[in-house]
Amino acid sequence: MGRRRLPKGRRRWRLVRRGLYVLAFGFGALCVAVGIMYSRTKLPPVNAAARAQSSTFTYRDGSTLAQVGQLNRVAVPLRDVPPYVRGAVLAAEERGFYHDPVVSPSGLARASWAAVSGGDTQGGSGITQQYVKVAYLNPEQTMSRKVKELFIAVKLSRARSKDWILEQYLNTVYFGRGAYGIQAASQAYFRKNAGALTPAEGALLAGLIQAPSYLDPALGHTAETRARWRYVINGMMSTGVLPRGPLPAFPSIAPAHTEPMYAGQRGYLIERVIAELHDHGFDDDQIYRRGLRVTTTIDPRTQAALPEEVARATGTDRDLEVGVASVRPGTGEILAAYGGRDYLTHQYDNAFLAALPPGSSFSPFVLATGLRAGIGLRSTFAATPAGSVVNDGDAQVASADLLTATTRSYATVFSRLGAKVGASGATRAGLPGRLPPSGVHAVDQAAAYAALVNGTYAAPHILAKVTDRSGKALLTVRPRTRAAFPPAVAADVTFALQMALLYDGKKGPRQVVPGRPAAGTIGTTDHNAAGWFCGYTPDISTAVVVYRASNRPVVNIGDAPQRSSADVPAEIWRSVTESAESGLPVRPLPGPAWVGSTRRFAPPTPTPTPSTPPPAPASPAPPRQTAQQKKAAAKAKASAGAAGRPTDRATAAKTPLPGASK
C-alpha cells in the first residue's frame, strides 16, 4: 500500500516550516559564534605611539631622499578644546556620536558586504571605531581586523564614557603635516593653541580628517578643501553648534612644512611621493608611522643638476616661475622634477600642479592626428592668420607644408589642420584632446612627448616599489602602457621635430644637443602667458614651462633676461638633456616613414617672408631604420595607396630641408 500523499498546500507549508527551522538554527549558531568571539576579545594595550616608526624615501639608486613621520603629538584635555571645535569634528565625522549606537546595523552590513565583495573595508566607521583602529590595531584591510575593530569598539564604549573616547580621538587622529591630535594640528596650520581656534578654523581642521594630505589647502586642492569646509560649517549650523546665518570667512593658514628637510626641491618630491602612495591605497598612518621603505624613480644625478641649470637660465628674474619634468620613454618613470625655487617659500608645484596653456607645443599631437588620417608631411595648408591665431614671431607667409610648419612653428597651419581632423592624438598621449587646448601640466607634457619615441604611451609615475620595515614587498609598480600612435606616425612626427630642433628662425641652424639625436619644439602662447620647450631623446623626455607669478606676460617686461618666451625653456631643456645623457651610449631615433599622401588644402608658396631669411641648414642623414620600422613604413605606404592617395615616392626619397616647400 503506497504512502499517502499530502495535499499540495500542506506540502508547501511543510517546506516553508523546514526553511524557517534552518534559518532559526543558523541565526542561533551565528549569535553563539558572535558571543564567543565577543567574550574572547580583550582590550589590547594602546600601541600607536610605541609602534610609530618613520618611513624612508630613497632615490632609484637606494640613496636616501627623505625620512618622514616623526610623531608630533601634544595631548590636551577635552575641556581645553572649545565646544565649537568639538562640534566641528562631530559634524564632519559622526553627528550622532552622543546618541547613536557605536556600531549601527547598517554600518556593520556595509562593512561585511565590502569585505565579501572586495570593496572598501572601512565603510561605516564612526569615531569610536576610528580611534580603535589607530590606537589598538594594525592598518591591514581584512575582514578579521574589521570584526575585531567592531568588537573592541563595543567593549570600549561600555567601559568608557563618550567624553573620554572623544578626548582620546581628538588627541590621536591625524590632521596632516605630520600632526597627530588637535593641539599639534592647531600649531601646524594656525600657529596657535587649540583653545584659541575660531569656529572657521576648527571647521577647516575637522574637514581635513577625511583626507589630510590631499585637502591641505597649501598643496593645490583648494576647491575641494573649501567644499569640505562648507559641508562642516553647514553641519555645525544644523546641529546647533553655530547659529544659522552667512558663512564665516575661509581662514588663512600657515605654510605647510617649514622644517629644513623640505627645503629646495625635496619638499616637492616628498609631497609627490605621498600623493602617489595615497593613489595606491596607503593611508597616512602607514606612511607616517609604520616604517615603510619607499623606492622612487628619481635619478639623483639628473635631479641634482636641475636647480643649478634653472638658476643659470633665469638669472635674477625673481618673478619668473619654472616647472620641469623628465620622464623615461617606454616606462613613464619620472627621472627628475623641478617644482619651484624652494618648497619652503613656494609650495605650489609648477611641474605637477600648474596647468598652463600649451600653445604651439600642442602642435605635434595635432600633426599625429593628421598623419593617422592620411594627411602626409608634404600636405600644404594656408599659413595666414586664422582668427586670433598668428605665427610665432608674427611671421607672414601665405602657405606651408606640415613639415615646414612644424620646423618654423606656424601655429596658423595647425589651427587649420586641427579644425579638419581634431586632436585625438593628444588624448592617446595623456593630454586633453580638445581644441583650443586647455591648461596642461609639465609632467603630462613630458610623458606625451615620450610617446612619440616609438608610439607607446606610459603613464608617468614616481614610485618604483614599497616594502614594510621587515623587507616584505607591499607594492611593485609596473609601467602602465598603451599604444598611442602607429610607429610610422610617431617616426614622422619625430622627424619633423628633429628638423624643428635644428632650425632657429633668428640664428639659422644649430645642433641643440651635440652628438645626440633629439627632437623637440618650442611652445609660444597667446599674450605670452607662458613659454614652453618640450623634447626628447630615446632615453629621456623633458618638458619645461615658464610663467610669471605676477601673471604678466613672460616677455617685454624690462627685467626679463630672455628675448622670447621660449628661449629660457629651450636653454634649460638643452642643459638638462645634456646632463642626463652624459655617459650613456648614443641611440638613434627612427627615420621618417612618410605615411599618408600629399594633399593640397592651399596653393604652395615659394618661400616664407621673414624680414631677414635665415640660411637653411644642411639636411641631416636620416638614421638607419630597423627592420620593424621598415615594415611599418611599407605597410603605411600600401595603406595610403589602397585609399587612392598615393605617396609621392620621388619626393619621399628626398629628405627635405627645414623650411623648404615642395
Decide if 506 contacts 408 (C-beta within 8 A): no
Residue 42: burial class (beta carbons within 10 Å; 0-12, 13-18, 19+): exposed
CA distances from 366 to 396, 411, 526 (A): 22, 11, 18
Report whether 400 contacts 413 (CB < 8 A). yes
Residue 451 C-alpha cell reads as 610617446
CA dist 533 and 230 (Å) reads 40
Amino acid at 76: V
Cell numbers given for 634: 611599407
For 170-258, where are the E strands, in sequence order? Answer: 179-180
Report the distance separating Cα 241 and Cα 33, nearest Å: 42
- Three-state SS at 545: strand
Residue 318 CB: number of other CB atoms within 10 A?
Answer: 10
Q: Which of 55, 93, 213, 415 is labelled catalytic? A: 93
Q: State the CB neighbour count (10 A cutoff) for residue 3.
A: 5
What is the H or E stretch that residue 114 is in? helix 105-117
Give the CA dihedral 177, 180, 185, 191, nearest 10 degrees: -80
Residues in the chain: 662
Task: Name the catalytic one among 55, 157, 213, 360.
Answer: 360
**Is there a catalytic annotation at residue 415?**
no
SS3 letters for 139-162? CCCCHHHHHHHHHHHHHHHHHCCH
**CA–CA dist 309, 542 (Å, integer):** 14
CA 462: distance to chain centroid? 10
Which residue has 641634482 as its cell numbers? 304
Look at residues 365, 339, 331, 360 and name the one whose alpha carbon lies nearest to residue 539: 331
Kindly give the pairing relationship between strand 320-327 and strand 334-338: antiparallel
Residue with cell 560649517: 233
**What are the angstrom distances between the C-alpha of 444 and each of 305, 389, 536?**
21, 24, 14
The number of angstroms, rounded, from the C-alpha of 534 to the middle of its chain's C-alpha atoms is 18
Nearest to 129 by CA among 105, 154, 109, 110: 154
- Please give the Cα distance from 80 to 466 (Å, whole number): 40
Q: Identify whether 571 is a catalytic site residue.
A: no
Q: What cell was used for 570?
A: 629651450
CB-facing half-sphere around the CA of 378: CA atoms within 13 A: 23
Whose CA is closest to 366, among 338, 406, 328? 406
Burial class for 559, CB neighbours closer than 10 Å (0-12, 13-18, 19+): exposed
Rounded Cα distance, 497 and 403, in Å:
9
Report yes or no: 594 and 652 within 8 Å, Cβ to Cβ: yes
With beta carbons less than 8 A apart as the criterion, state whether 593 and 629 touch: yes
CA dihedral 135, 139, 143, 144 (to 10 degrees): -60
Enter the DSSP assignment of 625. P
The residues carrying an active-site annotation are 93, 360
